[in-house]
Structure 1
Amino acid sequence: MSKEILINSSGYEARIALVENGMVLEVLHERQARESIVGNIYKGRVEKVLPGLQAAFVDIGMHKSAFMHASDVAKQNSQEGLPDHMSRVQNISSLVHEGQNIVVQVYKDQIGSKGARVTTQLSIPSRYLVMMPREKDMSAISVRITDEDERQRLTTILQGLNEKNPGFGLIARTNAEGASKVGLFNDYRFLKKLWEKLSHRIENNPAKSLIYSEFSLDKRTIRDEISENLTKITIDSLEVYRDVSAFIQDFAADWRGELVNYQGSRPLFDFHNIDDEIDKALSRQVPLKSGGNLVFDQNEALTTIDVNTGQFVGYKSLEDTAFKTNLEAGHAIARQIRLRNLAGIIIIDFIDMYDPEHKEQLLHALEERLSEDSSKTHVLGITNLGLVEVTRKRTTDTLYNHLCEPCDRCDATGMVKTIETLTYQLFREISRSVKQFKASKVLVIASVNLVEYIFDEHNESIAEIEETLSKQLSFQAEESYSRDQYDVVLL
């Protein structure tokens, strides 16, 4: 299993594609204006306690207060010397009070109108280990490590580290499988020094301040994905390439993969057809090779996926046709869930099958493919109607909601790309055109809305593009152009 990471970075946006055996599995985005804060630790202040919801709002210094449920604070209090009977009480008023300073970690970004979700159960991952400051005696192994001898080896090493460490518990990540004792000790030493710094900040920093900031998107992706299966990392920005190179030397010096600074004439994502895959992932319908298709419908509460046979008629019987289509659909659905970053409740309407063995094989195939997902995913049973319920942990917004917005021309029954997405798409088109054809100047003809937004929000980006391409850019607003229409004219 060969994995590759592609990193496309500019001053305004970072995009990362995870590719396995030539197939795109995940696409990650981060923009300057919407950087993820998942993993960040804050010293906050309880702003309001809501006993009816068993929750509290915590001011962490952001424009919107974070939300914390009672279940996210109980374990912390049990570690701080409260009696056992009180630590089991789920009444939020018994756990926190208004005006209280409290250390919390973000585990879910602000999505839509909802503020970030936070917990007092802190966890900080490194390459092989996860530090658990609130669980001082914890010594656990990732469930994805199934070899009993390896689990016992890691357990012995972790117990030895915990004996020397009074400050925090440890969990061995999946990447720890086969890691040397020296590598694990180096990870532990890094986490110990980090916790000493964080403890000092918690003690001395005022409320509503940032205590720990998670790595940037490129670094945390490499931290989570780097292994012997990761054979290549390709980066199209020299600055990011140098930064990542230094990070790997400090964090994973034993990695033997290839780090490449891409300098091709075609944009990196264009060269690997990643943008085409993104556009397909934004579409409602996904074709299957057999002739069948998948239909995706998303709303705030859940996502439904309908499996259709389409033009596929099979070779033997209706049962055989349904089984083969469902099996192919199961593999495609597992990939699309990761690619689209679907989360929450996912209902899959497979084609009806009657053979119990076929149903069991389908569930096994779906579970096997979803087990490769880094997000926690659970597959529940299949009903008589062929419905399968899947739950997936939500930490960031879906690809669809990240790149699109409700259409004001159809009463929000459809979606269009945001003006920000259109801007970055235009910037990439300018770069692509200039690199392919000779020109001294570039004229952009676009809709009034798009031109006004670029001048209002992206003057610095325009200057940066002009400097990078050594070309002069000029813009012409055309009232007859629709919102998403533009042309790049080379002069």
Structure 2
Amino acid sequence: MNKLMLIDSKDESNIQIAITENERLVNFFFESNENESIVRNVYLGIVDHVENSLQAYFINYGGNKNGFLSFSASKENLIKGQYIIVQIVKDEKENKGAMLTTFIEIKSMLMVGLMNQNKGCSVSKKISAKTDRELIKSWYERLDSHIDSHIIFRHSVMNKEYSQVENDIKNINQTMEYITNAAKEKTVRLILKAPSMIEKIITDYYKPDTQIYVEGDIQGNIPQYMSEYANKHNEIESIFKFHNIENQIESIFCERVNLPSGGYIIIQHTEALTSIDVNSGVCKKESSIDKTALLTNMEAAVEITKQLQLRDIGGLIVIDFIDMYQKEYMELVTKKIAKNMENDKAKYNLGELDRFCLFTISRQQLRRNSFISMHRKCLHCEGIGFVKKDSVWSSFVLRQVAHLIKEDYVEKVMIKCDSNLAYYILNHKRDMLYNMENEYNKVVQFEFVQNNVPCIFYEQDNILHEHMIDNIKQQTHDGIFKLPSEAEDIKTSNYKTPYTRYKSEDKYVEENKHASENKYISENLANDNQSTQYVKGKSSDFDYEKDIRLRMKIHDSSCYNIELNKSFTNINPISVDGKVVGYL
């Protein structure tokens, strides 16, 4: 099998790495200076507060948000104000802090050292031969006096000399000793920066049968111990184009993936899960609908497992296969998925194919999503993929104009929108606009801007004001806008728990620990059967009518760099056959 690792480091602000097998792209990595990953960085942080309801500590480690450290990821019980060494497990997201752990991992080419865990040795499951495992454990016994942590020997230790293993152990011990000594100075700071993305990928994905090609500076980007294995890309064409994978990289960001027999899959992401829909398309190779469904589903099972690794899709994944009614066919598809997931480096859990032909996978995300790193939300649709039609916007704009134009303090009204919306209003809503202008003897004018969301301004005493309209999407996203609720309050206190855990400085206090499970269940059932008294939410002092009313915010005209005498110059429409097609 021809395996290549292609590194594009020509533009050092945007590093790209592709791994191919037989000219097929199997992994792609991207990192920019704008969103550099901090995974595996080690910090000295301080406990900002303890949240018992979430079973977690929130750690100030110097990031934009406090990091999240679950009780299970901490070796000891912590208190507020306590300093602690932590490592980043997952980067910050838009509305979530970084995930942290106190079980520090120090990786090398041959092994992984684990701080804060019991001293011992583990061997990769990929090393299955009994003789090989015994040899590695004998090495560990010889090195036991030099080791103060738990060591995991990786698959790459195979066919290596004892001297190389010994050297790796010394490097890991030196790193751990440096971390421990650096933590003696009690200030929140970065202790150890993680290796560069290139070094991480080489450490995690390089194998002896892999060839490395680099476009850019080898010495500055490739670790010294790997530089002898790296080859300089000297072709005129870019490295990805030369190896014919540019189009494969672009296809990662497409929802549709075509299958060999004419079927296809659609991959779509939501906040809660990733859905994958399997379609037969133009597949006509089989003689019956059952066999067509089986063929398409088998091809989809292979392709989906590849796409999960290539796109590094994490979280809950729901696959909607084509309906099959024979149990043996369903078993074949399930086995195909399980077999192809075996080479995945991520941790995962496989569900079962149910009677609706839905299959669920829970998968660990290994790195920052390349799609998010390389794209930003559309300024017009805000990421949903749709914008309002001109007919809808026109009605909305005219309602706001009707509200404004009747006010005595308003002298003129300006609508700033794109040309398509202006054409629509003047062609289809001309009579309504004309009647408003005549009734109140005021002028409504248009100014073209490259913005899909129209803005409305009015003039008062030669000062330009913006007619402020609530951005409900943004307010909902920020948690500001809430619907009026008449739902009954749910009292969780009515449901008893077998025991309550309290977090103290040095131990957990468990109450009613010896209460039997049967008694607990019967008490909860009894509570459910009783007529529970709920208290309806009282109406607050919040004035909904006032909130719904459109707010107006006054600005000095200089804020918009608009000259009044120019902004309100009359625009003369050009009409052809009674339709507005342009302006003078």
TM-score, with structure 2 as normaliser: 0.63
Which of 107, 111, 115 lines up with 1:129 in the alignment?
111
1:172 to 2:153 alignment: yes
Quote the offset at 1:242 in angstroms: 5.0
Quote the offset at 1:243 in angstroms: 4.1
Which of 341, 344, 367 lines up with 1:396 in the alignment?
367
Which of 188, 211, 214 lines up with 2:194 in the alignment?
214
1:62-461 → structure 2 map (5 Å cutoff): 62-73=63-74, 76-77=75-76, 95-161=77-143, 163-203=144-184, 205-230=185-210, 232-238=211-217, 240-241=218-219, 243-244=221-222, 246-248=224-226, 259-414=230-385
SS in 1 for 2:165: helix
Quote the offset at 1:334 in angstroms: 1.4
Q: String of CA shifts for 1:252-308, please: whole Å, max 9, x gaps.
A: x7xxxx522112222222323433223211111111121000001101221010111
Structure 2 distance, partners of 1:144, 1:248, is 23
SS in 2 for 1:382: coil
The residue aligned with 2:466 is none
Task: Give the share of equivalent positions with the same residue, in percent.
Answer: 28
The residue aligned with 1:484 is none
Contact 1:235/1:241 (CA < 8 Å) preserved in 2? no
1:6 to 2:6 alignment: yes
SS in 1 for 2:222: helix
Change (3 A) 1:187 1:354: farther
Q: Which amino acid aligns with 2:279?
A: N
Larger Rg computed on CA atoms: 2
1:21-32 → structure 2 map (5 Å cutoff): 21-32=22-33
Contact 1:44/1:104 (CA < 8 Å) preserved in 2? yes
Quote the offset at 1:245 in angstroms: 6.0
Quote the offset at 1:415 in angstroms: 9.2
Structure 2 distance, partners of 1:368, 1:41, is 36
Structure 2 distance, partners of 1:373, 1:355, is 29
Quote the offset at 1:210 in angstroms: 1.3
Contact 1:219/1:247 (CA < 8 Å) preserved in 2? no
1:475-486 → structure 2 map (5 Å cutoff): none
The residue aligned with 2:454 is none
Structure 2 distance, partners of 1:105, 1:351, is 43
Change (3 A) 1:180 1:324: farther
SS in 2 for 1:52: helix
Q: Which amino acid aligns with 1:157?
A: W
Structure 2 distance, partners of 1:146, 1:363, is 25
The residue aligned with 1:48 is 49
Q: String of CA shifts for 1:117-141, please: whole Å, max 9, x gaps.
A: 0011111111111101112422112
Structure 1 distance, partners of 2:23, 2:219, is 22
Structure 2 distance, partners of 1:141, 1:415, is 51
Structure 1 distance, partners of 2:93, 2:198, is 22
The residue aligned with 1:426 is none
Change (3 A) 1:11 1:448: farther
Structure 1 distance, partners of 2:325, 2:153, is 42
Q: Could you say which structure has the greater relative contact order, defined with CA pairs below 8 angstroms and 6 or more residues apart?
A: 1
Count of aligned positions: 389
Structure 2 distance, partners of 1:354, 1:172, is 46
Q: String of CA shifts for 1:298-347, please: whole Å, max 9, x gaps.
A: 01221010111100023232222122111111121111112212101111
Structure 2 distance, partners of 1:38, 1:335, is 24
Q: Which amino acid aligns with 1:2?
A: N
Q: String of CA shifts for 1:421-440, please: whole Å, max 9, x gaps.
A: xxxxxxxxxxxxxxxxxxxx
Contact 1:404/1:415 (CA < 8 Å) preserved in 2? no
The residue aligned with 2:402 is none
Structure 2 distance, partners of 1:329, 1:56, is 42
Unaligned runs of 5+ in 1: 78-94, 417-446, 450-491
SS in 1 for 2:53: coil
Quote the offset at 1:174 in angstroms: 2.4
Structure 2 distance, partners of 1:131, 1:415, is 49
SS in 2 for 1:46: strand
Quote the offset at 1:388 in angstroms: 1.4
Structure 2 distance, partners of 1:334, 1:191, is 34
Quote the offset at 1:58 in angstroms: 0.7
Contact 2:6/2:19 (CA < 8 Å) preserved in 1? yes
SS in 2 for 1:183: helix
Structure 1 distance, partners of 2:28, 2:450, is 31
Q: String of CA shifts for 1:371-417, please: whole Å, max 9, x gaps.
A: 2222222322221222111111124332222222332323531299x
Unaligned runs of 5+ in 2: 388-448, 452-584
Contact 2:262/2:281 (CA < 8 Å) preserved in 1? yes
Contact 1:111/1:397 (CA < 8 Å) preserved in 2? no
Contact 1:245/1:259 (CA < 8 Å) preserved in 2? no
Q: String of CA shifts for 1:186-220, please: whole Å, max 9, x gaps.
A: 221221222222222122x3332112211101111
Structure 1 distance, partners of 2:118, 2:56, is 26
Structure 2 distance, partners of 1:329, 1:171, is 35
Contact 2:199/2:223 (CA < 8 Å) preserved in 1? no
Contact 2:6/2:18 (CA < 8 Å) preserved in 1? yes
